[in-house]
Amino acid sequence: MRTLEDAVWTYFGYPNEHWTDKCSNCRKKVIEEKLPASLVPECINCWKIEIWSQSPWLMQFGLSSTDPGFLFGLACKLALALDTGGPFVAKLSKYPIQVVRSGEPLNQYPKAATDRLLMVYASSISERDELLQAICRALGISHLLGPNIPVRRGCWLYDGFLGPWQEWYQIDKDSML
Three-state secondary structure string covering 116-129: CEEEEEECCHHHHH
- What per-residue confidence (pLDDT) applies to 86? 61
In this predicted structure, the answer to whether residue 125 has a pLDDT above a threshold of 60 is yes
The per-residue pLDDT for range 63-101, each reduced to its tens digit, is 766 677 899 999 999 988 875 456 789 999 999 999 999
- What per-residue confidence (pLDDT) applies to 48? 96
- Asked whether the beta carbons of 167 and 43 are under 8 A apart, the reply is no
